[in-house]
Chains A and B, each alone.
Chain A
Amino acid sequence: MQIYLPIAEIPVNVLTILAMGLTVGFLSGMFGIGGGFLMTPLLIFLGIPPAIAVGTQSTSVVASSVTGALAHFARRSIDFKMGGVLLAGGTAGSLSGIYLFKLLSAIGQVDLMISIIYVVFLTIIGGLMMVESVQAMRVARNGGAGGRARGRGHHSWIHGLPFKMRFRRSKLYISVIPPILVGYFVGTLSAIMGVGGGFIMIPAMIYLLRMPTSVVIGTSFFQIVFVTALTGVMHAYENQAVDIVLGFILVIGGAVGAQFGVRVGEKLQGEQVRALLAALLLIIGVRLGIDLISRPDDLYSIVVMSSGT
């Protein structure tokens, strides 16, 4: 069943897109991730122009992160103050990401930048997760007490920074500079990659800001809602890169898929799930990397500059 996408200006098979939405939604429910960094490359593989893949995906991340944030709001596992500080950085980051995106599309390098960033992040995160989960599996098999030493209260350079603020929910008294910088960095990536950025935000919150794990996911969802909402509006406003029809199909598939994913995820063991996700990330990263270095079939490509209404 073909449907013509009004902004991407190509016909796609609804069932293909729906199946992709379901699969990514399933995986994101199972692994507890946003899934943007899986969906955007898939859309690009399918032939959706990269800019529209990114713009549309940031809009549909709004839907899944609202669902996530509401669940955590009910469990009271959101640090709103920390979320607000991250959001301040995220807003600025998102705007600079949009600006960078526009600049690079004008000089024809935006596809390259998206690919490079994906290759770098997917292989690094996938590699680290793979190592970590394999180690955890080995520890579990040997029956050893594999408790990670979390240097809580350990003083680092972060504690020397000015503009300290008390975050009661996170039981922290730290400078606002690191969370603002983290927010900024993730906001920029979010605008360029069409992702929520949880896969960078969450490790940064745990290892860099040393927030308690109980509030990390909820707070991350909270700020992702607003950063991706801003990114989505800006992609539509500045780049005309949001395809509402494509986004609609993705959101439907994602919401349904996530429900099944959550149930399956509960039955699986943590390390195995993470090893699986790591393998998936590495496969996509390597595939994108090969595309970058292999000689294209046609060295020349064309782009229509002006588009009429």
Chain B
Amino acid sequence: MGAWRTGRYALLALLTLGAAALAAPDARADRLVTDLSQHQVSIRSNFTGTEILLFGAVEAPPDERTVDRDIIVVVTGPTRTVKVRRKEQVAGIWVNHDSVTYPNVPGYHAIASTRPLEVISSPETLRAQRIGIENYEFGEAVATGIDGTREFLPPDTELDFWKALIRNKRREGLYLTDPGGVIFLGQTLFRATLDLPATVPVGLYTAKVYLLRDGKVVDTISSPLYIDKGGIERFIYRLAYNDALLYGLIAVIGAAFFGWLASAVLGRR
């Protein structure tokens, strides 16, 4: 019986050890600690775009020295429905013709990494982890003709619309890729700066950091970032959308007042 009990304890110990051994790569592996320079960006009247600084550290066992360690930072903005229109020449004039609507397009998408993505990892891993704007799911595309009826476009035509969407967003500075944007300061500390152009949409953003070793994702961490209009900009915007009639009346009465003021000032001269 004693032997049996001992045996049972041994088995338990063995199991625990086994579990510990299995868990060991996790428990002992590198872990991320990150933060943003600011969690809230407020768009005020002097807003001309800003920079967000992301910094962090890899907590690794002290004895270990890994060279093949990479960081990918992905900042994604709130998603909206976006329509992509293609112009065609009708009677000599360039007219918006077919369009494709994507329901789930991020208004901002920036990627910074220690090295180019294709060097860091395999396309399969990137796709599985949804890293890169090419791997982002924009939702079900709906094509519409010039007359407003639904169309079915050949896949390669639809692909052109998808490419055009990313191209346009890149041109506006809203989709960014910075292959050398994450810089290691020594063994564990790293930092990345991300540009937010003046046209950034307001809403909730997520900054997701991936730690990769030998092309495999070892750890991820997310932090929120909130971008909102501030001060008078926010007041005006809210009023224009929530109390549109009042806003319109204020604008027009204000304009009429200025017109009267101009004539009153003039009349005195």
Q: Do A and B come from one complex?
A: yes
Tell me the A residues contacting B by CB distance below 8 Å: 2-4, 6-7, 9-11, 59-60, 62-67, 70-71, 74, 107-109, 111-112, 116, 225, 229, 232-238, 240, 242, 244-245, 247-248, 251-252, 255, 258-259, 292-296, 298-309
CB <8 Å contact, A255 and B258 = yes
Q: Taking the nearest CB of chain A, how far is it from the CB of B45, in angstroms?
A: 5
* A111 partner residues in chain B, CB cutoff 8 A: 96
Known: A62-B255, A308-B78. 7 other contacts (CB 8 A): A4-B48, A7-B237, A109-B96, A237-B244, A240-B240, A301-B84, A308-B202
* B247 partner residues in chain A, CB cutoff 8 A: 236, 242, 244
CB <8 Å contact, B164 and A59 = no
Q: Does B249 count as interface, using CB distance less than 8 angstroms? A: yes
Q: Taking the nearest CB of chain A, how far is it from the CB of B70, in angstroms?
A: 32
Q: Does B169 count as interface, using CB distance less than 8 angstroms? A: yes
Residue A235 contacts which of B94, B96, B107, B248 (CB distance < 8 angstroms)?
Answer: B248
- Known A-B contacts A59-B255, A237-B245, A242-B251; A4 and B47 likewise in contact (beta carbons under 8 Å): yes
Q: What CA separation (Å) do A234 and B245 show in the bound complex? A: 8
Residue of B nearest to A242 (CB): B251
Residue A237 contacts which of B43, B44, B248 (CB distance < 8 angstroms)?
Answer: B248
- Known A-B contacts A293-B94, A302-B168; A108 and B82 likewise in contact (beta carbons under 8 Å): no
CB <8 Å contact, A244 and B250 = yes
Q: Taking the nearest CB of chain B, how far is it from the CB of A79, in angstroms?
A: 20
Question: Can you offer 6 A-B residue contacts whose CB atoms are under 8 A?
Answer: A67-B266, A108-B96, A108-B99, A234-B248, A296-B87, A303-B83
CB <8 Å contact, A67 and B96 = no
CB <8 Å contact, B95 and A112 = yes
Residue A309 contacts which of B83, B107, B241, B254 (CB distance < 8 angstroms)?
Answer: B241
Q: Does B86 count as interface, using CB distance less than 8 angstroms? A: yes
CB <8 Å contact, A303 and B82 = yes
Residue B83 contacts which of A7, A259, A305 (CB distance < 8 angstroms)?
Answer: A305
Q: What CA separation (Å) do A294 and B89 show in the bound complex? A: 10
Tell me the B residues contacting A by CB distance below 8 Å: 43-49, 78, 80-89, 92-96, 99, 101, 105, 107, 148, 160-161, 164-165, 167-169, 171, 198-199, 201-203, 229, 232-234, 236-238, 240-242, 244-245, 247-252, 254-256, 258-260, 262-263, 266-267
CB <8 Å contact, A3 and B46 = yes
Q: What CA separation (Å) do A179 and B95 show in the bound complex? A: 35
* A6 partner residues in chain B, CB cutoff 8 A: 45, 229, 232-234, 236-237, 240
CB <8 Å contact, A255 and B262 = yes
Q: What CA separation (Å) do A259 and B261 show in the bound complex? A: 13
Residue of B nearest to A231 (CB): B252
Q: What CA separation (Å) do A67 and B89 show in the bound complex? A: 44
- Known A-B contacts A4-B198, A300-B161, A305-B101; A67 and B85 likewise in contact (beta carbons under 8 Å): no
For the complex of A and B, the 6 pairs showing the least CB-CB separation, nearest first, are A66-B259, A236-B248, A300-B164, A233-B248, A63-B259, A305-B81
CB <8 Å contact, A4 and B46 = yes
- Known A-B contacts A63-B256, A112-B93, A242-B248; A298 and B44 likewise in contact (beta carbons under 8 Å): no
Residue of A nearest to B81 (CB): A305
Q: What CA separation (Å) do A64 and B86 show in the bound complex? A: 39
CB <8 Å contact, A62 and B259 = yes
Q: Taking the nearest CB of chain B, how far is it from the CB of A10, in angstroms?
A: 6
CB <8 Å contact, B248 and A2 = no
Q: Taking the nearest CB of chain B, how far is it from the CB of A71, in angstroms?
A: 6
* A298 partner residues in chain B, CB cutoff 8 A: 164, 167-168, 171
Q: What CA separation (Å) do A302 and B171 show in the bound complex? A: 11
- Known A-B contacts A62-B252, A107-B148, A235-B248; A302 and B82 likewise in contact (beta carbons under 8 Å): yes
Residue B241 contacts which of A4, A240, A248 (CB distance < 8 angstroms)?
Answer: A240
CB <8 Å contact, A59 and B251 = yes
- Known A-B contacts A108-B96, A229-B256, A303-B83; A70 and B263 likewise in contact (beta carbons under 8 Å): yes
Residue B43 contacts which of A4, A240, A295 (CB distance < 8 angstroms)?
Answer: A4
* A233 partner residues in chain B, CB cutoff 8 A: 245, 248-249, 251-252
Residue A300 contacts which of B168, B237, B262 (CB distance < 8 angstroms)?
Answer: B168
Q: Taking the nearest CB of chain A, how far is it from the CB of B199, in angstroms?
A: 6
Q: What CA separation (Å) do A300 and B262 show in the bound complex? A: 45
* B203 partner residues in chain A, CB cutoff 8 A: 308
* A237 partner residues in chain B, CB cutoff 8 A: 244-245, 248
